[in-house]
Structure formats: structure tokens, C-alpha cells
Amino acid sequence: MIGSTMARAGGLARTAALSALLAAAGAAPTLLHAQGFASTDPYQDRVIESVSIEIANPSRDDAVNRRVEDTVRRALELFPGQRYAEDRIGFAEGVARRNREVGNIEHAVTPGAAGGVDVTFTVEIADVERADDGRGYFLTWDRADLPTLYDRGGTVLRYRLDALALFYSNTNAWYGRPDLMLAGNPLVEGEPAGEGFDPWIEGYLHYGLYGITPVTDAFYVYGGLSAITSVSNGQELFTDRDRRYTGVEDAYLGFVTGRTTARGDRLAFNFTVGRQRFELANAFLIANTAANGQERAALQANARWSADLLVLGQVAWNDLKFEAFYVDPDELPPLDTDTRIVGVNLEAEPAPGLFLGASYLTVPESSQNYFGPTGTIIGTREGLEVIDARFTYRPQPQGQQGFFFGGEVARQTNRNFDMDARAAYAEVGYDWPQARWSPSVSYRLSYFSGDDADTGTYERWDPLLSGGNGEQWVQGANHFKVVQDSNVIAHRVQARFRVAPRVELVPQLWAFYADSETNIGGNPALSFLGDDEYGYEANLTAKWFVSRNVYVHGHVAYTVPGNAVSEALDGTEKDWWSAMVFVRYAF
């Protein structure tokens, strides 16, 4: 007993010393934990499961109805498997309205059975003799046209206005030991959340203008400019200081062109540059292209997503898509590593329900340090290379019950030193979309390697900008803040229930284990582990899609520390509860 106590004391002393060393070297281990756990936009970037077109005032001539529907489909260029983006769909509607047979066109979004979204367009057939008077508040002074300000001849100008209010609370955050779990973390200002109940509130206002205009019938230029004002008050995870911040969010230009042949083949080109959001595939590698919290406030609201600079080129032929990108993420000033990421991505649907993808990424510039088993710097992120391959497969047609599968494998090396890190996941599930509550159940096993102290090769997986939301790669509402996607083996059981047409419940059960007991580069209190059991979490997320404009989201999470945490904290750890609810209003 005495020996065990002395060993634990020695471990705490060693951890404290190493934490100080790492902080002095400019890389406190929990620096990446500034990002919140969920996206507050319930639709953005979600996979489109179905696209439907309905005619509000159908003609008695079925040929006219079919012609209008075909015209709209060609103009929208929107198909299942693509990702939802409100501004781009608004632009596409403007393109569709250039046809004189199309009067008004609007769309509604509802949650899909497989976790994506279903998009339904409602089209009004116009009098073919009508003049193209256009629509939009600047032309009609009709508030019903908002948020469209101008829409005539393919030129569309829309404004964006999103408002969000969020309440968040923790009980025993950081397992009640923020003094150890946040040692050396520069995000700490004043008093961080810890033992006991700590609530706070956040909010933000996102406002801006987005537009598109035709240069020719097939060539359009577009752009967007917006800003975000965010506030935080109360006992947040890292601070008890009230903060307010206003900064530019989107600021980009681009062009899109392409054509659809008479046989229905689709060719499309898109190029864009500037400040904007970017998510690669399923967020396994890149999602959080901006950081929140600290001076920017809105830590859990995740107000900001736009990279400092994104250069993106895309070309698509039917279901085959290629993209090349350059990303300069918008990092928090105290944590800025000057990281730049360059990559290419290829995606295809070779058979119905089968999606394949492959990516290559490299980091030409970064000051992010990698630490060896003794805490010495063995290299930086600069020179990192990543190869990645993935698939998802749903054998049955959309809307029918059956199995679904997914998997991904990736490897990281570095041109400047010996590195070999691995990551992978495998998932299997079954859904019943026609049954009551449209239930879906899945199991996912994910693996992100840790560093083996007995080899000369650096093997700890670098999570880069992984994340997204709690159903992507934010693994655990609480646990993700302690152990991100590095040196972790995670088991997830997830269900999804549509308890009402616009209400969805998503319960999750998690079990987390360390791949290596050498955890330098992770949380400072967990640098040396005496066991591989990180802990367990159960959480429940509720989503209420009140309307296209109003969304209500809540969650509760309960996290139990495992033996690895208990030993590192000398048995002083406490179970961690968190709860959150937010309301978002958007035009």
C-alpha cells in the first residue's frame, strides 16, 4: 500500500515536471481542446439522402409538368450523396428561376433516415408570357421574399442572419481536477471549471451577404462576406471571465461552370478562394478549420468554422469527384502553429449505395512539435504526409431496411524523420426507415495509434483538424475534451430514433482505451499511464427541427473515468456530467 502510494506520488511529480517542460517548449498537451463538440447548424455539410421536386400548381398537360421538373433538376445540379450548403442551394434556385416556365421555387430540409438530410423543392409553374420581373426585397419590398434581396436573370443576392443562444453546464469538469488536467494550458484565464456545478451561457450573431451572377449561360461567379459577434458569460471550461468578440467569418470569391448533356451526364467545375469552411469527406482528417473559445468566446457554440484561407478546386463527372485544396486554418493566437495543409481527394460511387474515397495530404509548413518518450522534441508537423482510403456501403435502396457498413484506414509518415502512425475505423449498422420511429443501430470501432516507447519510430497519430460533430469524430461529449483522436481505441454503440417527423434522439455508449501507455503529447496529467482504460461515457442528444428557421438542440452526458485516469489522479477523480441546450434561429 505504501509502495503504491509512493509510486503514484512519483508519477504526479514526473507528470508535473514533464508538463512544465512541454509548456516551456511551446506545446502544452491539451492545446487542441479549445474546440466545442458539436456543429450548431443542423444541416450544413450533412449528406443529402434524397432530392424531391414537387409542383405546387401542376398543369393539366403532363408534358409541361415533366418539362418543368426536368428543367429544375438540370439547373439545381443537386443529387443524393452531395453535401448540403444553404447558400449554394439558394444560388441554384436563382439559376432555376431563369427559365420562364418557373415562377417561384423554394426548398424545405428535414432529417434523413440515415443521419443526413432530405431536400424537397416546391416549384410554381409560371405564365410563360410573364415578364421576368424577378423577386427579392429590393425589387418587391415584400418581406416574404427575405432573406433574398435580389433575384433576377440569374443574379441572386441574399443576406445571412443566424442567432444562437446556448446554456451549458458541467459538474466536476476535468474529473474535478482542473489543476492537473489543465496544467500548462495557455487557454486557462482566471478560474476554470472544476469540482462542483459550473454553468455558463454563450451566444452569437452571424450576419453577411452572399451573391452569385452569370457571366454566360454556363459560367457563374459567386462570393460571400460575413462577420460573427460572439459572447460568453459564466464559468466556462477554461475561464470564468466574460468575453465579447467580433471578427470576419466568410470572405471568399469563386466561380462555377459546367453542363449537363442530353443523356443526363453531368460535368461541373468549381473554384473558390478566401475565408470559408472546409470539411474533407466525413471529418476524419479535416473539419474544424477554425478554433473557438479563449478571446473569441463561444467555445461550445462553435460559432466559427472558416479557415484563414482556403483554395479549393473541384471537378465532377456524374458521381466521380476530384478536388485539390490548400488550407490555412484559423487557429487561436496562443496556439497558432502556422500549419498549412495541401491535399487532393477523389470520391466515386461505382455502384448504387457504394461510396469510395481516397485522399493524400501533406503539411508544407508548421511549427507544431512532436515529443518523444522522454519529452524531447523529435520533430515537427512540417513534412507530414497522410494517405487515406475509405468506403461506405448500403446494399438496399434508400428508404428500405437493411444493413449499412463503413470503414477507413490511414497512415502518416514524415519526410523529415522516422514516423509511422496509423488510424482506422470499421462500422456496421442496421436501420428500419419504415418502422415506427425509423430506428437505426450501429457499432463503430476506431483506432488512433499511440507512440511505442520501445521503438525509434514516432507512432503517435496526429489528429490534424479532425472533429465535426458528435456523430462524426468528436468522440464523446466530455471525453473528447480529455483525449482527442490520438492514442485511443474507441468503441461506440449508437442508435437513432425519429420519435416525431421533426424530432430525433441519438443515444450513444462509449468505451475508451489507450493504444500505448506512453501518452506524451496528450493531456498533461495523463502523460504516463498505469493502465490502458481511459473511461466510459453515455450521452443522449435530442434534436428538434422546429422549422427551416428554428432548431433546438440539447444533450446530456455522463463520463466515468477508468483505471488510467484514476491512477494518474491518485484516486481523487470524480464522475463528470455535462448538459447543454441551444436554440438557433436562421433565415
Domains of the chain: 2-48+159-586 (2.40.160.100)
Band of residue 128 on the pLDDT scale cut at 50, 70, 90:
low
Q: Is the pLDDT of residue 184 over 90?
A: no
Q: Is the pLDDT of residue 119 over 80?
A: yes
Q: Is the pLDDT of residue 15 over 60?
A: no
Give the least confident one: 43-47, 199-203, 333-337, 390-394: 43-47
62 vs 533, residue with greater confidence: 533
Query: Of 82, 29, 35, 23, which Cα lies nearest the Cα of 329?
Result: 35
Task: Please compute the mean of the pLDDT values over residues 180-184 and round it to a whole number.
Answer: 91
**What pTM value is reported for the model?**
0.88
Band of residue 24 on the pLDDT scale cut at 50, 70, 90:
very low
**Three cell numbers written together for 276:** 470559408
Q: What is the pLDDT of residue 462?
A: 97
pLDDT tens-digit map of 330-364: 999 989 999 999 999 999 999 989 999 999 999 99
Give the least confident one: 19-33, 351-365, 501-515: 19-33
138 vs 126, residue with greater confidence: 138
Contact by Cβ (8 Å): 208, 225: yes
Per-chain mean pLDDT for the chain:
88
Task: Please compute the mean of the pLDDT values over residues 394-403 and round it to a whole number.
Answer: 89
Integer Cα distance of 47 and 207 in angstroms? 25
Q: Is the pLDDT of residue 31 over 70?
A: no
Which residue(s) pair with 207 in the sheet?
Answer: 161, 227
Q: Is the pLDDT of residue 14 over 50?
A: no
Contact by Cβ (8 Å): 72, 123: yes
Query: Of 232, 362, 253, which Cα lies nearest the Cα of 304?
Result: 232
Task: Please compute the mean of the pLDDT values over residues 434-455 and round it to a whole number.
Answer: 95
Give the least confident one: 57-61, 84-88, 202-206: 84-88
Q: Is the pLDDT of residue 130 over 80?
A: no
Contact by Cβ (8 Å): 276, 210: no
Q: Residue 51 is which amino acid? A: V
Task: Please compute the mean of the pLDDT values over residues 536-562 and round it to a whole number.
Answer: 95
pLDDT tens-digit map of 218-246: 899 999 999 999 999 999 999 999 999 99
Q: What is the pLDDT of residue 132?
A: 60
Contact by Cβ (8 Å): 415, 385: yes
Specify the residue for cell string 424530432: 503
Q: What is the pLDDT of residue 12?
A: 44
Handedness of CA 75, 76, 82, 88 (dihedral sign): positive
381 vs 268, residue with greater confidence: 381
Q: Is 135 helix (H, G, I), strand (E, B) or coil?
A: strand
Q: What is the pLDDT of residue 39?
A: 61
Q: What is the pLDDT of residue 29?
A: 36
Task: Please compute the mean of the pLDDT values over residues 38-44 and round it to a whole number.
Answer: 72
Band of residue 21 on the pLDDT scale cut at 50, 70, 90:
very low
Phi, psi (deg, nearest 5) at residue 452: -85, 115
Q: Is the pLDDT of residue 2 over 60?
A: no
